[in-house]
Amino acid sequence: MRLGVIDVGSNTVHLLVVDAHYGGHPLPASSHKLELRLSENLGPHGSITSAFGDKLVDFIAECVEIAESQGVIDLMAFATSAIREARGGAALIERVSRESGVQLQVLPGRDEARLTYLAVRRWFGWSSGRVLMIDIGGGSLELASGLDEEPDAAVSLPLGAGRLTRDHLREELPRPKQLKAARAFIRAEIGGSVRELLRLGPPTRAVGTSKTIRSLSRLTGAAASGEGIFVPRQLRRKDLKALVPKLAALTPAQRADLAGVSSTRAHQLLAGALVAESAMDLLRIDRLDICPWALREGVILRRLDHLEADETFDGMSG
């Protein structure tokens, strides 16, 4: 069957269309996205601007047309932390439904962590043992750990790369005092969740996912994205520690010239690196294995699970 998912994130709105069936590997059929960067462009008092609302409604309507032309039989749509926390988010969700016909589900932070963890678990499999997952978005940081497909601990923190850049690292070349303050804020937020995430023991495998972590991995020597999703990639803490001061010495324009860094994310990369470094330090992780699947894939996998359960029940009833 052909499924579609619209992800209204803090940085981008992304339509992913996949061919999928229960127990199989979802195969991407098409992808369509727009950079909106809500987490950095809120109006006064954290409100959603009318310009953003217009762009979002128009783009979602465009996604619906694409999904129909691609033969999608089930189109899901969800929003993450930026919409969830912004003033005017509820009104915008109602407007999206009214004007596009799309029911936009707002995911709580813990569900973001749970679904991303599910995608990571399915990608690496049961042989990975206890998994600890780190996902750095534009608006929030998701952390989860567990032995099964449902994590024992799932946490969402206000440490997205876009949010931190907006609130703590607005200058192109932050001063040492600003970097120190940002690092202290990040570590205080993560520190409160360390016990919960490690209470059942250290992970057998630590995993990183998200565009930010993939870019950091690329900058420390991992294979380019063009080599395919099945090439193993890693991010080592010692390499990340060496990278952070180098990124701090570069302007966003200079970071955009680095291999694997997009011009639209370059300004956020330093904040993302500080979050990744702090998380790896506090959680005592020396290496992250990079997972190409994340929240969108987790939503698709959970939907497939529900479809299979419905079909199984119907068959038993008949």
Tell me: do 147 and 61 sit in the same domain.
no
Report yes or no on 113 lying in a domain.
yes
* Overall number of domains in the chain: 2
With beta carbons less than 8 A apart as the criterion, state whether 28 and 310 touch: no
Report yes or no on 125 lying in a domain.
yes
Please choose, from the candidates 23, 32, 39, 35, the residue with its C-alpha nearest in 3D space to the C-alpha of residue 5.
32
Report yes or no on 312 lying in a domain.
no
Q: Is the pLDDT of residue 194 over 90?
A: yes
According to the model, what pLDDT value does residue 307 have?
78
Residue 268 belongs to a domain with what CATH number?
3.30.420.150
Tell me: do 244 and 122 sit in the same domain.
yes
Tell me: do 87 and 151 sit in the same domain.
no
How sure is the predictor about 47, in pLDDT bands with cuts at 50, 70 and 90?
A: confident
Tell me: do 219 and 249 sit in the same domain.
yes
d(CA 104, CA 89) in angstroms, rounded, equals 11
Q: pLDDT tens-digit profile of 16-36?
A: 999 988 888 899 999 999 998
Q: pLDDT tens-digit profile of 290-303?
A: 999 999 999 999 99
d(CA 298, CA 304) in angstroms, rounded, equals 10
What value does the mean pLDDT of the chain take? 93
Tell me: do 77 and 213 sit in the same domain.
no
Tell me: do 139 and 225 sit in the same domain.
yes
Report yes or no on 317 lying in a domain.
no
According to the model, what pLDDT value does residue 46 have?
79
Tell me: do 93 and 62 sit in the same domain.
yes
Q: Which of 72, 106, 140 is the last residue of a domain?
A: 106
Q: Is the pLDDT of residue 310 over 70?
A: no
| Structural domain boundaries, residue 260 | 109-295
Residue 15 belongs to a domain with what CATH number?
3.30.420.40
Tell me: do 58 and 190 sit in the same domain.
no
Q: Is the pLDDT of residue 9 over 80?
A: yes
Report yes or no on 224 lying in a domain.
yes
Tell me: do 136 and 80 sit in the same domain.
no
Tell me: do 78 and 153 sit in the same domain.
no
